[in-house]
Copies of this chain bind each other. A is one copy, B any other.
Amino acid sequence: MGMMGSSLASAVQRTWPETWIESVVRSESSAAFIKEFRLANAVQVHTDVRAIQDFDLQSFDLVVLGIPPAKIIEMVPHLPITQTLITDMSSTRRQVHAAFDQRPAIHFIGSHPMCGSEKQGPQAAQADLFHDKLCLLIENPSSAATTVDLQLLRRFWSGLGMLLYTMSSGMHDEVLAYLSHAPHLISSLLTLWAGSNQHVASASKLSPIPISGGGFKSMSRIAGSNPEMWNDVLQTNRDHILGSLQEFHSQLGRLIQLIQDPESGHDWQSWFQKSRQERDQLCNWD
């Protein structure tokens, strides 16, 4: 249990106080924290995903894999076959689902709760992390999961206050490349680009407080958050991230041409207005 898993445990405890929660973490310090703050009824420390083969999954109603896609893919061949529903919280989907396609007897339905924090570890747990957020559900056509399993999963996330939307794994990875993955890379590039200008770097050091205003701060908030997770996202959704960034690169090239040519007659006020409308539609901004 990292930040996401610990937040989930807190949310479950708050919503269904009688639930028995067993947690797996990678470090003794996380385990100590979880015990101290009673985020779970039991804690085990494992660094090897193969440890899953010795778990009695059948005794649980639901198993949530709160580990990166690459770790899930490593784990899937070792999952014992039971009737227990398994879900996950991965930010990329196709590779995870391809791994479960090889084990159709497992009851698996994918979840991508769209919430998070730039902070890591169980210390960053927030019980209300899931409330009023979107959870994308991704069914595996080849999985043994039943409609009863799907109802259970819908009740689980809804019970924590999440709104649900179902997508295919392919559609998920394309849409999320635009709305999450590529923007993270752009945010990270933004800080490296600004810092690479010598005048920006010197003035920023000399100024009593940062020269970057609220706009730059907002845009760079997610820069470099959780390097391990984002490395994984990049490795597991490379094609769509690449395609979306190439599209952004080409649209930026056209924008530069319009700025370069003062005679272009481009209506910048309309352009800014259109971008605001698009922002409001995509983000439901109020």
Whether A75 sits at the interface, judged by CB under 8 Å, is: no
A256 cross-chain contacts in B, Cβ below 8 A:
242, 245-246, 249
Scan A184-221; emit 1 where CB is below 8 A from any B CB, else 0: 11111111111111011001101111111111111111
When the two chains form their complex, are residues A186 and B179 in contact, meaning their CB atoms are under 8 A apart?
no
When the two chains form their complex, are residues A278 and B244 in contact, meaning their CB atoms are under 8 A apart?
no
Scan A126-138; emit 1 where CB is below 8 A from any B CB, else 0: 0000001110100
The CA of A255 and the CA of B10, in the complex, are separated in Å by: 38
Whether A273 sits at the interface, judged by CB under 8 Å, is: yes
**Complex interface residues of chain A between 261 and 286 (CB less than 8 A to chain B):** 262, 268-279, 281-285
Whether A167 sits at the interface, judged by CB under 8 Å, is: yes
When the two chains form their complex, are residues A278 and B192 in contact, meaning their CB atoms are under 8 A apart?
yes
Whether A23 sits at the interface, judged by CB under 8 Å, is: no
Distance (whole angstroms) from the CB of A196 to the closest CB of chain B:
8
When the two chains form their complex, are residues B259 and A255 in contact, meaning their CB atoms are under 8 A apart?
no
Sample (30) of A-B pairs whose CB atoms are under 8 Å apart: A115-B213, A133-B209, A165-B211, A171-B199, A175-B199, A179-B204, A179-B216, A180-B213, A183-B215, A186-B252, A187-B219, A188-B275, A188-B276, A189-B255, A190-B248, A193-B248, A195-B282, A196-B247, A196-B251, A204-B282, A209-B284, A210-B282, A210-B283, A218-B218, A219-B221, A224-B276, A224-B278, A227-B271, A238-B259, A245-B252
- Other 9 A-B pairs with CB < 8 A, given A116-B214, A175-B211: A133-B213, A175-B199, A175-B200, A179-B213, A187-B219, A189-B252, A217-B285, A218-B219, A224-B272
